[in-house]
Structure formats: C-alpha cells, structure tokens
Chain A
C-alpha cells in the first residue's frame, strides 16, 4: 500500500468477540460518517470471524454503507497473525483511505501488525479525528483533506495532532468511549459484501490453551450520571453516601485509582487512564484531586461538578460547577435538595 487513493472509503474495523460486537466500532461508525461526509466517500465496516454475518445489520444501522464480511474457521478466535493477514488482504483489494480501530487491547495488538506489513503510519489512542489541510514543514508541499489524528501523549501532558500525508491508508486507533454512540437507525440501507480471504492451510503460530473472561458487573460507560469518589472520601463506609446520591440520580458510582487502591471501591469502577473512559451527562467528583491520569478518563463529561475542601485542587480546572467544602457536609445537602424536589 502507499498510493493516496482519494476515492478510498473510510473503514471501521468491527471488533467482535464470540459473536458480540463491542461498543467501540459503533462509536467509530458515528465518527466515520462525519469524516466520510466531508470526504464525500462511503463508510464501510470490516467484519471478520465465523458465523458473524448476523452482526451486519447492527453495523449498517449505526452508519455503515457497506459491510465487508470475511468468514473463515481460522478467524474463529482472535489471533494477531490470522486477523492481520485477512485485513491486509482486504485493504490491498479495496484501498480505503482511512482505517479506524478501537484502542482496545485487541485493536492495539492488531493495528500495529497491519501497519507494519503495509508500511503505513498508525496513530495510537486518538481522542479526536478531523479532516484538515497540512503543509509539510520541510518541502512546503500542501496536502488537502488529510485525517487529523489527535491524541494525548507524554503521559497526558501534551496533545499531538498527527498526519500521515503520503503512505496510506491513514490508520488510527481510537479510545473507547470518547466518540458518542450514534443512535441505532434500522431504516438505514447497507450492502453486505462477502469476501474470500486466503487463509486455507495457514498455520496460526499460537495455541490458545485456556481463556477466561470476566463479566463486567458495572457498565460505567452507559451511565448518564456518575458519582465518583477519591481518597478524600476516607473509607469504604463513607462511600455509602455516594451510593445513596447515585441511586437518587439513577447513576453509577465510580472511584479514582487512589480510592480503588485504598479498597473503598472495586477496581472495575475505576475511571481514568488505566480504568474506564466515561463521558456522562454529569460527573460528580467527590474528594478527587484531579490528577492528569484521572482527568484522562472523565474530562469529556458534558458537565463536571467538583466537591473538594482544597480550592486549589486541579479538579476545579476542568469543572463546570464547584463547591469548595467538606463532602460530608455537602453531599447530605445535595440529597436533601433533590428530595425536596428543588
């Protein structure tokens, strides 16, 4: 690969496991529609696996114009080698100009392998994508309508906009939960294109001896309201107050890594760089200082309310609303105000 195919489609890798799609490809389809609208090209999803054709409807309903479907026994369980080979083959045949992957453990395993084989660029962990023009700093060549791949780096201390002007496809992995999930629209039309991939007789290098999946008991990403507590809450018992407030608001409870490490709340409730990325309508941060690794997981919330005794806490710098005070005093007042139907 390498030529810049301006008529190329915008592709989304449709990550699935055991016949279930994860949320990321659907989130990406929403963004892909926007990009493809500007570029005036179709949006396609690439679906690999065995017996996964039934998922095509969902992909179309979320924005795909086409679904490239490749089913093969060698694709039954994810392995880097088989998936990379199939995907490279399809990219070679159809020449998309953009290929997007979820920045999930699977996406971040697969995408670099594909990029290396195609010798094209790959930007990791994007939090935003746009279309824009770029002038090369050295050659002064102007490139129109490139994919701006916007990502935090340096431990979240800088935001870099990366472009890939010449060696296409332009590929990026995109963080989960940062693009809004488009509404399902069953009236949308789409075409399913069945593809043959040459995997017959391919021996996959790994033997998968054992697999274990944990059921996620909490789905923070789906919560409209999140009440999150940090080290400042002081104990697991004190978290009860947050559970009560969340219950009243129909929301979920989350914690900072410090709260998790201190045992106030279980690890699957952690928000941040090494936890879940959330974008609820309201994020209430209680006794959380606002470290960069925490903010990475919540600053996209539509509204942030911070409650903290320290007026200089960094969390106030990303907050829309703030109360400087002791949460043990403030939270009961909030509960009372909600009860009072304020």
Chain B
C-alpha cells in the first residue's frame, strides 16, 4: 500500500534576526531586508512525508503559496527528496488572512487528491497556527495537530503522538487525514548533493519569463508578444522534458471561487501595526553597592511590591 503526501510549506522572513535595518520609518517591517527562509516547522512536515514515502512508497508533493521567489523553497524540497513542487501564485490572492489562505491551499491540495496532508504547526511570521486546522475543515478530513512523533501507518490507519501542552496523547484515524507537525517530531534530512546538482536548475514558468527577459536583455522587449511567448514556451518545454519545470498554478487553475480569496475572502482587517521598539533608559538605576541595593529593597517594600 503506497500513500500520496502533500506538504504545505511557506516561505517566511527570518523573524528571529530582525535588525534595525528591517524596520521601516513608519514602524512596519521591511520584509525585503530580511532573509527569506523555509518556515522551520514545515521542514519537519516535509521530513515526516519523506519518511512515509520511504517506508511505504507513494509520492511527496510540496505546495507553496506566495510570490515567484517562493520557488526557492520548492527547490530546497526537491534537494531533500520531494518528488514534485507546485507554486500557487496569483495577485488576487494577496492580503489573504488565514481563512482565505486555507481556502486557496485547500483548493490546490484537492487537485492532488492526497492520502495525507502535512503542515507545519505554525509559521514564524503570521504566528497563528490556524491554516492547518482551517484547511482540515475545508477539506472535510480529520485533523491531528501538534504531532511530536509519527508512529506509522498500518493499512490506511495512521497513528501519531500529539503534544497537548501538559502531556501527550496517541491517536489514530483512517486516511485521509491532515496533520500539523511540531519541531520536535524529527530531524530533517540534509540536502542530497546529487539532487542539488540536478534540481538547482529547476524553474517555474514565472521564473523562466523573468529569465528570458534577462537573457535577451533589451531585445526581449522588442519581440512581439507571440515571439516572447514562444521563447518562454521553448524554455519551459526543455525544462519539462528534463523534469525540471516547477508547476505554477493560478486561482483559475485550482477552480477557486474568487470571493473567498484575497482581500474579499478575508474577514480580518489590520486596524493598526506598531513595531516593538524598546524605549530604553527609563528604568531607575541603583548602584551595585550595599547602600544602593538596600535602598532598592527599601523602595520595593515601601511600594508594597515585596514584604
């Protein structure tokens, strides 16, 4: 019995290393100043999927929704062993909150008809951990969140140990299922050097278009639209023959109802964003002498903080 897995992976700004330069004057974050990385927990979701395939056969497809630059994490997935990468990209998907994001991703996942859908527990930028559970509802499949140990599949029944904060529970259910995977679930395998050699040339149609423009420099713009398209088509066909074309889907390709996508599909709106800039220097400093420390303790007692 083999199983088809779909992993949803997000490209995120590296929020752990936010520096001054990454903050814009209006207090918002300048995402382009931050390195874009593979959302950490999604690597663990990918590893779980690869282990399932290695044990039972089947396939691993990675889907990411984002701008064309998100192809970087599709290539990363291929280096580590994924069979197929799909980019869902469409301007009309911009400004999606978790409800719209989960709707769009669910439409894309449905097209792959997988046995197991794997998400990371949480993305490090939006930090909501909502997309996985919401996708499970949209796909109408059982949900297992916070998987800290994948215990295997036996004849279409999956078992996993989930971390529930104050302990754990072992649950099982019949496929299909959607799981969200914790960081503690496994150690992601490194890239394979051989696969890297092969897949570093993998490109999406969008990237090919940009590339064709670059290669032909000024000339490309002088081409007629048909010639441009023909040129792009030529590259894409060549890539496709070598198994190096990353699939690229629009909202039309996944039959998404536009009213549930992007801004119109998002009930939450941002009222205000403030950056957390520490004020600094406003605390009362006491000298590290016995007198200084005693004065501080006296202060804490007199304001009833201690004693």
Contact = CB atoms under 8 A, between A and B. Distances in A.
Contacts of A333: 288-290, 293-294
28 contacts: A105-B145, A106-B164, A108-B129, A108-B130, A108-B133, A108-B145, A109-B146, A112-B137, A113-B137, A116-B134, A120-B267, A121-B267, A123-B268, A124-B126, A125-B127, A132-B271, A155-B124, A155-B125, A156-B276, A157-B29, A160-B274, A162-B268, A162-B269, A212-B167, A317-B281, A321-B283, A338-B306, A342-B298
Given A125-B128, A207-B171, A323 B293 contact: yes
Interface string B269-293: 1111111101111011111111011
A306 B267 CA distance: 42
B159 interface: yes
Interface stretch (A29-37, A53-61, A324-332): A324-332
Nearest to B293: A333
Interface in A68-84: 80-81, 84
Interface stretch (A41-49, A164-172, A235-243, A257-265): A164-172
Contacts of B166: 213-214, 216
Contact of A322 (B164, B167, B173, B285): B285
Contacts of B163: 105
Given A119-B267, A321-B296, A337-B294, 10 more contacts: A80-B133, A81-B143, A158-B28, A320-B284, A321-B300, A322-B285, A323-B287, A330-B293, A333-B294, A337-B298
B284 to A, nearest CB: 5
A75 B303 CA distance: 48
A334 interface: yes
Interface of A: 80-81, 84, 104-106, 108-109, 111-113, 115-117, 119-125, 132, 134, 136-137, 148, 152-167, 205-214, 216, 225, 249, 281-282, 292, 302-306, 314, 316-326, 329-330, 333-334, 336-338, 340, 342
A160 B272 contact: yes
Interface string B144-166: 11100000000000010001111
A62 to B, nearest CB: 21
A157 B276 contact: yes
Contacts of B285: 321-324
B275 A157 contact: yes
Contact of A167 (B16, B267, B271, B290): B267
A31 B146 CA distance: 28
B283 A319 contact: yes
Given A158-B276, A320-B284, A148 B126 contact: no
B170 interface: yes
Contacts of B250: none
A117 B140 CA distance: 10
A304 B296 CA distance: 12
A318 B271 CA distance: 26
Contacts of A316: 280-281, 283
A206 B284 contact: no
Contacts of B13: 154
Contact of B294 (A154, A205, A249, A340): A340
A206 B173 contact: yes
Nearest to B126: A153
